[in-house]
């Protein structure tokens, strides 16, 4: 570690539990970044088409998706009052327009996991049914809700390791299709999330250990059972592509608001990061669509900055936050991951603009700020996005980044999106607790 600290001085600050801001030295132009990349826009479009095929089925099983014809999508909301408060209270000097992408309110799972997690289950379902000749591309997929299909899928098991939200999306969707479902929950998982899953008939296995252990065990148990499919959050390309579809849908939402993204109107996006799949997939999609005009930043807790650690050192999944003496413990359960996805670190290396880390206490302040200004509730993990919004124009390193990218004089026309990754399913009594947590 001493050696690593000398080569990467930011590690010394991280090790002390200080908040840091990191600008990615390996970022290159979009065109350059796609050379040798294993995924492309075609893969994102394939995922988008699959979600369209499943829309009639989703609408049938989850009537709350009717208003969007079975697509699981969230609103994009202007939050000007939050912007004013951010500038006044935190001295942010934020210019441009501030929007909130409310994945916190996605149907079915109430978090960003309703994108990747649900998509992966649908893909697996289509694969199984097609292998058996029970389904073809031209069919109306609402037939999948029929008894014949439910009986067929009940022979199969789906398993996943989760800190909470991934388990909820996988669990609820798998149960709706008819699978046996086992969710392996790390110690960070909140009780109410386990209770909710059990109420859907999902088997929840609890661990005293962290996320990586829950995943490892889940993977092993699944591998022992030939009828079991393991959703591998650390390596899954399918999950990643499910998240990436968000970008294509965002284009239409920006157009509806009369927003154009181009060289004069850059887009800045701030996404809370755990193992990396959600922020990585969304950023990958955004880069395909907006190319060099979008600047993606991840945000992680000071005790669990696994993606930053992996990317800054180039060690990706070969290093964990415990290796530099951090605990991995955080109130942000959705981000409580000690070891990042090596796959995501590799794909993001030439694309990501940078990272911010944040103290737990601030997540609750940002949560209260948003509630007071915009009457929108987010879970603490999701509030990490605001750390990026708040710190962007206060940081010398970022000022340099803006200058190098010819952005300094464009900031008054910039568009900022805080990606709100979860919260709508948090029960009322827990919300009340959160409102009082870390109250100064
Ligand atoms: C899972 C999650 C994230 C991060 O996603 P990863 O794929 O783990 O990086 C962010 N916010 C919330 C609320 C989440 O549940």
Q: Write out pLDDT tens, residues 95-114.
A: 999 999 999 999 999 999 99
pLDDT digits 0-9 by tens, 364-411: 999 999 999 999 999 999 999 999 999 999 999 999 999 999 999 999
pTM over 0.85: yes
Q: Assess whether pLDDT exceeds 90 at residue 164.
A: no
Q: Assess whether pLDDT exceeds 70 at residue 33.
A: yes
pLDDT recorded at residue 212: 85
Q: What is the mean pLDDT of residues 213-220?
A: 92
pLDDT recorded at residue 187: 85
- Residue bearing the CA closest to ligand 1, atom 2: 334
pLDDT recorded at residue 296: 98
Ligand 1 atom nearest to CA at 272: 10
Q: What is the mean pLDDT of residues 154-160?
A: 97
Q: Assess whether pLDDT exceeds 80 at residue 1.
A: no
pLDDT recorded at residue 144: 97
Q: Assess whether pLDDT exceeds 80 at residue 2.
A: no
Q: Assess whether pLDDT exceeds 80 at residue 182.
A: yes
Q: What is the mean pLDDT of residues 232-241?
A: 95
Percent of the chain with pLDDT over 70: 100
In testing the pocket of ligand 1, which one of 118, 273, 274 has its CB within 8 Å of the most ligand atoms? 274
| Per-residue H/E/C for the chain | CHHHHHHCCHHHHHHCCCCCEEECCCCCCHHHHCCCCCCCHHHHHHHHHHHHHHHHHHHHHCHHHHHHCCCCCCCEEECHHHHHHHHHHHCCCCCCEEEEEEHHHCCCCCECHHHHHHHHHHHHHHHHHHHCCCCCCCCCHHHHHCHHHHHHHCCCEEEEEECCHHHHHHHHHHHHHCCEEEEEECCCCCHHHHHHHHHCCCEEEECCCCHHHHHHHHHHHHHCCCCEEEECCCCCHHHHHHHHHHHHHHHHHHHHCCCCCECCECEEEEEECCCCHHHHHHHHHHHHHHHHHEEEEEEEECCCCHHHHHHHHCCHHHCCHHHHCCCCCCCCHHHCCCCCCHHHHHHHCCCCCEEEEECHHHHHHHHHHHHHHHCCCCCHHHHCHHHHHHHHHHCHHHHHHHHHCCCHHHHHHCEEEEEECECCCCCHHHHHHHHHCCCC
Tokens linked to 409: 């004089």
Distance 378 CA to ligand 1 centre (A): 13
pLDDT recorded at residue 242: 98
Q: What is the mean pLDDT of residues 326-348?
A: 96
- Residue bearing the CA closest to ligand 1, atom 1: 334
pLDDT recorded at residue 209: 86
Calculate helix-pair angle for 191-199, 165-177, nearest 10 degrees. 0
- 338 CB near ligand 1 (under 6 Å): no
In testing the pocket of ligand 1, which one of 162, 422, 423, 430 has its CB within 8 Å of the most ligand atoms? 422
Q: Assess whether pLDDT exceeds 90 at residue 262.
A: yes
Question: Per-residue confidence at 210, pLDDT binned at 50, 70, 90?
Answer: confident
- 283 CB near ligand 1 (under 6 Å): no
pLDDT recorded at residue 3: 87
Question: Per-residue confidence at 428, pLDDT binned at 50, 70, 90?
Answer: very high
pLDDT recorded at residue 436: 97
- 330 CB near ligand 1 (under 6 Å): no
Q: What is the mean pLDDT of residues 192-217?
A: 91
pLDDT digits 0-9 by tens, 76-91: 999 999 999 999 999 9
pLDDT recorded at residue 189: 86
pLDDT recorded at residue 20: 98
Q: Assess whether pLDDT exceeds 70 at residue 72.
A: yes
Q: Which domains does the chain have, with CATH numbers?
A: 2-109+240-435 (3.40.50.1100), 113-237 (3.40.50.1100)
């Amino acid at each position: 570690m001493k050696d690593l600290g000398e080569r990467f001085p930011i590690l010394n600050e991280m090790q002390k539990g200080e908040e840091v801001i990191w600008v990615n030295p390996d970022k290159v132009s979009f065109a350059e970044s796609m050379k040798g990349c294993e995924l492309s826009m075609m893969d994102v479009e394939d995922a988008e088409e699959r979600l369209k095929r499943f829309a009639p089925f989703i609408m049938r099983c989850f009537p709350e998706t009717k208003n969007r014809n079975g697509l699981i999508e969230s609103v994009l909301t202007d939050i000007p009052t939050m912007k004013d408060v951010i500038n006044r209270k935190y001295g942010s000097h934020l210019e441009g327009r501030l929007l909130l992408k409310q994945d916190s309110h996605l149907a079915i799972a109430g978090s960003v996991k309703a994108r990747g997690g649900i998509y992966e289950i649908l893909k697996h379902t289509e694969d199984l049914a097609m292998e058996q000749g029970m389904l073809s591309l031209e069919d109306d997929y609402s037939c999948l809700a029929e008894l014949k299909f439910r009986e067929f899928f009940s022979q199969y098991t789906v398993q996943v390791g989760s800190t909470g939200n991934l388990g909820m999306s996988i669990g609820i969707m798998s149960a709706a299709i008819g699978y046996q479902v086992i969710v392996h929950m790390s110690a960070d998982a909140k009780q109410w999330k386990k209770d909710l899953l059990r109420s859907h008939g999902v088997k929840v296995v609890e661990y005293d250990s962290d996320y990586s252990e829950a995943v490892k065990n889940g993977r092993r148990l699944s591998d022992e059972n030939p009828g079991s499919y393991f959703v591998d959050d650390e390596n899954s390309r399918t999950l990643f592509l499910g998240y990436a579809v968000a970008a294509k849908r965002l284009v239409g939402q920006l157009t509806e608001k009369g927003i154009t993204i181009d060289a004069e109107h850059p887009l800045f996006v701030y996404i809370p990061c755990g193992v990396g799949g959600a922020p990585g997939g969304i950023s990958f999609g955004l880069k395909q669509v907006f190319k060099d005009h979008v600047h993606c930043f991840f945000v992680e807790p000071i005790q669990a900055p696994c993606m930053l650690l992996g990317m800054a050192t180039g060690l990706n999944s070969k290093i964990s936050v415990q290796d530099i003496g951090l605990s991995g413990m955080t109130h942000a359960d959705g981000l409580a991951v000690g070891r990042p996805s090596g796959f995501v670190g590799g794909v993001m290396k030439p694309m990501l603009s940078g990272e911010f880390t944040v103290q737990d206490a601030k997540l609750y302040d940002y949560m209260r700020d948003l509630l007071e200004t915009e009457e929108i509730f987010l879970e603490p993990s999701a509030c990490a996005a605001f750390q990026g919004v708040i710190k962007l124009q206060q940081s010398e390193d970022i000022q340099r980044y803006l200058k190098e990218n010819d952005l300094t004089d464009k900031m008054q026309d910039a568009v900022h999106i805080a990606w709100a990754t979860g919260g709508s399913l948090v029960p009322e009594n827990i919300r009340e607790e959160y409102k009082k947590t870390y109250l100064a």
